[in-house]
């Protein structure tokens, strides 16, 4: 009987130990092995994703190498363009003289030419139309493009309520230095006797009296554009090549009214550069002397027959 009781007790204890062992094993499996499995699985997914990315990068690099072999880089294009545009450093004075002679001969034979004025000190390039009057034989020229802007004047324009835009440009007409101004008739009517004042950065004021009523030169959705041309002196022109115009004021004598506006820095720079380009053209075609650091080239138009 005692033996049976001991066997029964041992059996119960073993059963409890087995259950405890199984419980402990289950808990250990949940705490340890499942996270390890998830971590391993996650690492496998990451490896697959990284492999995909590497494959894409390799394919992209391969495509880039193919494109680089067939398509020149921007630097190569610029170097190529520079080689075409730049003159050789060993270019002789004789060659330069021939280029200038070509300008003079073209103007003499055709009566008109278009030229490009550029310089390292310019922020913009300038196109000008030069011609000789058939009746008087006098030289005249005016600008046609300022940078990418196709116009003979520079616009001082702001998108501000009540602003009066003023367009200004230098030109050479009948052996006279001129400042052409234009604006919308609805904003400002240009009349004889009115006055235009230009304030320079050194505080000097250039004052001009309007000698002719504004005449219509264009129209658009904003209204009718009128122009008037003012004769200026060589002294004035030289001042414009040296100093920036920072403000303008237009005084209406008939209405006791005036408009005053500050000129933006970019516009001031363009006006100064235009005056310098003007002086370079003038020196070249009237004195046949070059202005240092300024290039004047003949523009040749190619006509394509369709």
Core vs surface per residue 258-274: b (16+ CB within 10 A) or e: ebebebeeebbbbbbbb
Tokens describing residue 136: 């008087």
Tokens describing residue 267: 């516009």
pLDDT at 287: 83
Residue 250's closest CA among 189, 174, 177, 200? 189
pLDDT at 257: 73
pLDDT at 235: 96
pLDDT at 187: 86
- On the CB side of 187, how many CA atoms lie within 13 Å of its CA? 21
What is the C-alpha separation between 286 and 290, in angstroms, rounded?
11
Query: What are the CA-CA distances from residue 40 to residues 27, 33, 140, 182, 193 (Å)?
Result: 20, 10, 85, 78, 92
| Least confident window among 71-85, 224-238, 253-267, 272-286 | 71-85
What is the C-alpha separation between 104 and 294, in angstroms, rounded?
17
pLDDT tens, 240-280? 999 999 999 999 988 777 888 889 999 999 999 999 999 99
pLDDT at 167: 93
E strand residue ranges, 98-204 = 112-119, 126-132, 139-146, 154-156, 166-173, 176-184, 195-200
pLDDT at 249: 93
pLDDT tops 50 at residue 89: no
pLDDT tens, 140-196? 999 999 988 888 999 876 555 566 788 999 999 988 999 999 999 988 899 999 999
pLDDT tops 80 at residue 32: no
Q: What percent of the chain has pLDDT over 90?
A: 45
pLDDT tops 50 at residue 306: no
Q: Report yes or no: 212 and 158 within 8 Å, Cβ to Cβ.
A: no
The stretch 31-45 carries a mean pLDDT of: 62
Question: What pTM does this model have?
Answer: 0.67
Q: What percent of the chain has pLDDT over 70?
A: 63
pLDDT tops 50 at residue 2: no
The stretch 44-69 carries a mean pLDDT of: 52
pLDDT tens, 91-132? 444 455 557 888 888 999 999 999 999 999 999 999 999 999
pLDDT tens, 197-212? 999 999 999 999 999 9
E strand residue ranges, 10-162 = 112-119, 126-132, 139-146, 154-156
SS3 state of residue 142: strand
Q: Which of 9-18, 20-29, 85-94 has the highest mean pLDDT?
A: 20-29
pLDDT at 299: 86
SS3 state of residue 130: strand
pLDDT at 103: 87
pLDDT at 84: 39
pLDDT at 68: 44
pLDDT at 302: 46
Which stretch of DSSP H or E encloses residue 202?
none
pLDDT at 147: 87
Tokens describing residue 152: 């003979």
| Unique residue bearing structure tokens 């400042």 | 179
């Amino acid at each position: 009987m005692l033996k049976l009781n001991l066997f029964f007790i041992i059996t119960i204890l073993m059963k409890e130990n087995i259950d405890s062992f199984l419980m402990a094993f289950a808990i250990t499996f949940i705490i340890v092995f499942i996270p390890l499995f998830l971590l391993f699985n996650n690492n496998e997914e990451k490896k697959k994703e990284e492999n995909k990315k590497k494959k894409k990068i390799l394919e992209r690099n391969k495509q880039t190498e193919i494109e680089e072999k067939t398509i020149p880089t921007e630097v190569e294009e610029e170097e190529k363009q520079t080689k075409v545009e730049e003159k050789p450093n060993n270019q002789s004075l004789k060659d330069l003289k021939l280029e200038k002679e070509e300008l003079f001969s073209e103007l003499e034979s055709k009566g008109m030419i278009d030229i490009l004025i550029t310089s390292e000190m310019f922020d913009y390039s300038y196109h000008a139309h030069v011609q000789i009057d058939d009746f008087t034989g006098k030289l005249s020229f005016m600008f046609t493009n300022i940078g990418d802007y196709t116009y003979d004047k520079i616009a001082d324009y702001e998108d501000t309520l009540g602003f009066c835009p003023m367009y200004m440009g230098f030109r050479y007409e009948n052996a006279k230095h001129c400042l052409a101004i234009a604006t919308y008739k609805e904003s400002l009517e240009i009349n004889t006797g009115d006055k235009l004042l230009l304030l320079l950065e050194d505080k000097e004021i250039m004052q001009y009296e309007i000698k002719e009523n504004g005449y219509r030169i264009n129209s658009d959705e904003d209204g009718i554009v009128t122009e008037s041309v003012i004769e200026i002196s060589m002294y004035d022109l030289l001042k414009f090549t040296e100093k920036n115009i920072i403000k303008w004021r237009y005084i209406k004598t008939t209405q006791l009214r005036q408009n005053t506006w500050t000129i933006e820095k970019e516009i001031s720079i363009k006006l100064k550069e235009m005056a310098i380009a003007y002086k370079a053209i003038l020196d070249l075609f009237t004195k046949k002397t070059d202005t240092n650091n300024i290039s004047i080239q003949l523009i040749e138009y190619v006509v394509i027959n369709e």
